[in-house]
């Protein structure tokens, strides 16, 4: 799967007629989080309909004013491919949002599976004041507003390293932290939905200030509180499903998991070629790490041979098998 923190690039032609890649200023991170948020936003607490059910994939929902932009199609182009008979699109969207937060230094978020994909679009839902402030602040620690989608809010920035002309919500828009709150409270924010020239489009300003800035004050004072609140709110958001849908218990990744393992026997040389990858969960990257594979089969013990991570096949000659 694509890393959620990856910067989206576009191909452009320069003055010399050469094709070059330019950063758009947009990453997958805010797209994946926003898609999950807007998918869940259809939940109606009165009748239990809507929620995380992938109804955001329907054109009718994407055509609504609150769902403007290409972020949903960008997200679905990547995450729908993850779905299968065992993993619903809604589960894939939930996993994508979790990966987006955690890949950018955010808190760990509990994941439960079992979401069911909607067959038809849902109607818009609603949230409490406290939930709305928290979810918007947590979601807006990443990303920003694109000129193409909202030209009346963001001008064309004429920046070759930001060809989508994205005005970001805070100064650390690719990393999870509470700067969206500290900059708002200190009055230094450049959030286009707070300091925009048109007050009618300053939605973050209205939401953040709806309780007299009390919630944003607490977020600004404690990065730990902000992180724990966001982890809880994101988990609750992703677990908001229609009535009748039963989610699993929390699913945690295996600490060590073999992947794409192959054993190929060569009758000519009477050798067995062993290849594959091993995924180590939550371990710092180390390209020089060496993994040692051990085998113990019906023919007895097989002596250990070292294999570099993602390296060539580890071959075990017939002579190494104790009969």
Comparing CA positions, the residue from 243, 286, 310, 219 lying closest to residue 48 is: 243
Provide the residue ranges of all domains of the chain, joining segments of one domain with +: 7-238, 256-320
Q: Where are the alpha helices (DSSP H) in 86-222?
A: 89-103, 129-139, 179-186, 203-208, 214-221
Q: pLDDT value at position 18? A: 53
**Structure letter (DSSP) for residue 210:** G
Task: Give the whole-angstrom CA distance, residue 307 versus residue 304.
Answer: 10
- Please determine, looking at this structure, whether the domain spanning 7-238 carries the CATH number 1.10.520.10: yes
pLDDT in tens, 159-215: 888 888 889 999 998 899 999 999 999 999 999 999 998 898 999 999 999 999 999
Task: Determine the Cα angle at 59 with ends 54 and 62, to 5°.
Answer: 75
pLDDT in tens, 28-67: 788 899 999 999 989 988 889 999 999 999 999 999 888 8
Count of CB atoms situated within 10 Å of the CB of 212: 8
Task: Express as a percent the part of the chain with pLDDT over 70.
Answer: 81
Mode of pairing for the β-strands spanning 271-280 and 256-266: antiparallel
Give the CA dihedral 28, 149, 180, 34, nearest 10 degrees. -50
pLDDT in tens, 252-307: 988 888 888 888 999 998 888 888 888 888 777 777 877 676 666 555 444 444 44
Instruction: Write the CA distances from 257 to 21, 107, 254, 285, integer angstroms.
Output: 35, 23, 6, 16
- The β-bridge partners of 317 are 271
**The two three-digit tokens of residue 113, written as one number:** 């599976």
Q: Tokens 């020239």 label which residue?
A: 197
Phi, psi of 166, rounded to the nearest 5 degrees = -95, 120
Task: Give the whole-angstrom CA distance, residue 36 versus residue 32.
Answer: 6
């Amino acid at each position: 799967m694509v890393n959620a923190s990856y910067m989206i690039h576009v191909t452009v032609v320069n003055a010399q007629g050469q094709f070059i890649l330019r950063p758009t200023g947009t990453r997958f991170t805010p797209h994946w989080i926003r898609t999950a948020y807007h998918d869940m936003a259809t939940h109606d607490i009165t009748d239990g309909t809507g929620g995380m059910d992938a109804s955001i994939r329907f054109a009718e929902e994407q055509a609504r004013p609150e769902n403007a932009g290409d972020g949903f199609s960008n997200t679905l182009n990547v995450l729908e491919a993850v779905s299968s008979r065992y993993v619903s699109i809604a589960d894939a969207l939930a996993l994508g949002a979790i990966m987006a937060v955690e890949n950018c230094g955010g808190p760990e978020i509990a994941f439960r599976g079992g979401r069911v994909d909607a067959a038809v679009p849902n109607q818009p839902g609603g949230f409490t004041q406290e939930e709305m402030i928290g979810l918007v602040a947590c979601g807006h620690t990443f990303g920003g507003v694109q000129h193409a989608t909202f030209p009346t809010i963001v001008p064309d920035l004429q920046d070759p390293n930001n060809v989508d002309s994205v005005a970001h919500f805070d100064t650390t828009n690719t990393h999870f932290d509470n700067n969206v709150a500290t900059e708002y409270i200190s009055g230094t924010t450049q959030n286009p939905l707070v300091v925009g020239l048109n007050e009618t489009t300053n939605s973050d300003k209205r939401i953040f200030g709806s309780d007299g800035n009390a919630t944003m004050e607490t977020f600004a004072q404690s990065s730990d509180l902000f992180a724990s609140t966001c982890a809880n709110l994101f988990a609750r958001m992703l677990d908001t499903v229609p009535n009748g849908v039963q989610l699993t218990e929390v699913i945690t990744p295996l600490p060590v998991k073999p992947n794409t393992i192959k054993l190929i026997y060569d009758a000519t040389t009477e050798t067995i070629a062993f290849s594959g990858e091993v995924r180590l969960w939550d371990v710092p990257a180390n390209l020089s790490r060496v993994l040692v594979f051990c085998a113990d089969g019906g023919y007895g013990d097989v002596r250990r041979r070292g294999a570099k991570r993602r390296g060539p096949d580890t071959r075990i000659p017939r002579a190494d098998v104790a009969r």
